[in-house]
Amino acid sequence: MGCLPFSSSRSERPAEGDSKFKFSWSIFRNPASAQGKRSSKSAPAISSLPQSNAEPRSSSHLASSSAAHNSIEASSVSSSTNLQQVEEEETRRRDAPCISSDATPLMQSISERTSELQVFTFGELRGVCQGFSRSNLVGEGGFGCVYRGFIKNTSSKEAQSSKEVAVKLLNRNGQQGHKEWLAEVRFLGLVEHPNLVKLVGYCAEDDERGIQRLLVYEFIARGSLEGYLFSKSQSVLSWRQRIQIMLGAARGLAYLHQEIEGIQVIFRDFKTSNVLLDEDFTPKLSDFGLARQGPEMGATHVSTSVVGTIGYAAPEYVQTGHLTSKSDVWSFGVVLFEMLTGRRSVDRNRPKSEQHLLEWVRPYLHGSKKLHLIMDPRFEGDYSLVQAQKIVELALHCCHRAPRARPTMSSVVKKLKWILEDVSSSNAHADVATDKEGSVQMDGHNKEVAPVKRRKLVIEDVKRRIWAPKAISL
């Protein structure tokens, strides 16, 4: 449900990939984990994954903040002091005497950095969202509800303008706990990248009304990639658009894995619903509640609870709880297959033999002769089989059964850039050239254009020549 904070769609059918089911990873399974020794605990079964993308709460109860915000005036101050109070109080009230890798929010190594997030009061955000009215509701899920609103722009250049935001109101009895809320604040307040959603601010108040936890994001108008790939109500993404979107998403993951100084961040829940699209279809990764800091001090992996979404989680992570950046790479490969086929990673509404995407596509991936049989029919042939084969090879590489054999995300970025350049080049050469008599000129480069598109072009040319009105000289 990661798209909901920013989606303009009020309600959508739950993704099949979010449901609980038993699933065999046999076709991609790695017999032995490549990430070091197995955990002493028994490997968790795939069916043990939660139905949602939220991590199970720990037994510790949520802490109370030492002071409540009583002012409803807009605030634009450094959030470090306020956030530190929330963290310190939670640490003092935590039941468990020791902190495991799972009980620690993301990125302790940079916890002392300050952030310029806006700190809002509950009353202020209630006003922004018109009393959290149904008319402002844009999404809801296990975490709570998301509302649309406008706040004053704090930029000195645009002080008189307003900014559209999405306000996530955490359900105190919901599936997303305080730890996930805190992870999003700590992480998104410290990093910035064109392909990561921007966190504007937050609210943390404890008073007689109870615990209030809210997050304020930039509003992403077009909603999620999931909606465009699987919803009939959305326009169809072109071949070029899909590659551009996947390239942007890959850049976001590469930034998390390799470009933040001193640390590595593992997203842990990459899927189509967590890729949001702005007005220009620029992808932005969202929902960082499950993100974790990567291995440190030469460690090969991070041992953590198995959470995420069935159909996207890497098999070695499901089996052992060993988390690495290559877990994200696997998930990216799954989404590449979704982009090619227009099908969900798991779809229980299809025939049994077609419910699990990775199993269904496997017989069609050897060579390009059968590849067209699994391509999204909404392309209507408007794609290159040569480029599609390159995407398949990249997706298979990402979904290699041995984690260490999978590419890095920076390598994935390079390969997708090459494919996108090839798309641009092919489009330039494959454009239909019309001669003086209006006939279609098909050159050698056009052989890569799928047969369906060639037939359509020829038919259109014939129609023009037969039915085009001719000038009559008097």
Q: What is the pLDDT of residues 210-249, one digit of tens each?
A: 778 889 999 998 989 999 999 887 899 999 999 999 999 9
Higher pLDDT, 311 or 161: 311
Q: Which of 18, 95, 206, 269 is catalytic?
A: 269
- Show the domain range for 284: 225-428
Within-domain flag for 40: no
Within-domain flag for 7: no
- Considering the domain architecture, whether residues 177 and 29 belong to the same structural domain is answered as yes
d(CA 356, CA 199): 35
- Considering the domain architecture, whether residues 212 and 262 belong to the same structural domain is answered as no
Nearest of 121, 211, 126 to residue 171 by alpha carbon: 211
- Considering the domain architecture, whether residues 156 and 95 belong to the same structural domain is answered as yes
- Cβ-contact 288, 234 below 8 angstroms: no
Q: What is the DSSP string of 239-273?
A: HHHHHHHHHHHHHHHHIIIIISTT--EE-----GG
- Considering the domain architecture, whether residues 320 and 400 belong to the same structural domain is answered as yes
Mean pLDDT of the chain: 73
- Considering the domain architecture, whether residues 190 and 81 belong to the same structural domain is answered as yes
pLDDT for residue 87: 56
Q: Residue 390 annotated as binding?
A: no
Give per-residue pLDDT as tens, 394-452. 999 999 999 999 999 999 999 999 999 999 887 766 554 434 444 444 444 444 445 56
Give per-residue pLDDT as tens, 290-306. 888 777 666 767 767 77
- Considering the domain architecture, whether residues 238 and 368 belong to the same structural domain is answered as yes
Domain boundary, last residue among 190, 218, 246: 218
Q: What is the CATH number of the domain that holds 351?
A: 1.10.510.10
- Considering the domain architecture, whether residues 210 and 248 belong to the same structural domain is answered as no
Question: What global pTM score does this model have?
Answer: 0.69
Highest mean pLDDT among 27-41, 162-176, 280-294, 374-388: 374-388
- Cβ-contact 79, 116 below 8 angstroms: yes
One-letter amino acid at 152 equals K
**Total count of domains within the chain:** 3
- Considering the domain architecture, whether residues 241 and 196 belong to the same structural domain is answered as no
Within-domain flag for 383: yes
- Considering the domain architecture, whether residues 162 and 305 belong to the same structural domain is answered as no
Q: For this structure, is 443 an active site residue?
A: no
Residue that the structure tokens 């050159």 belong to: 443
- Considering the domain architecture, whether residues 108 and 183 belong to the same structural domain is answered as yes
Domain boundary, last residue among 184, 218, 252: 218
d(CA 234, CA 9): 10
Please state the rounded mean pLDDT for residues 107-117: 50
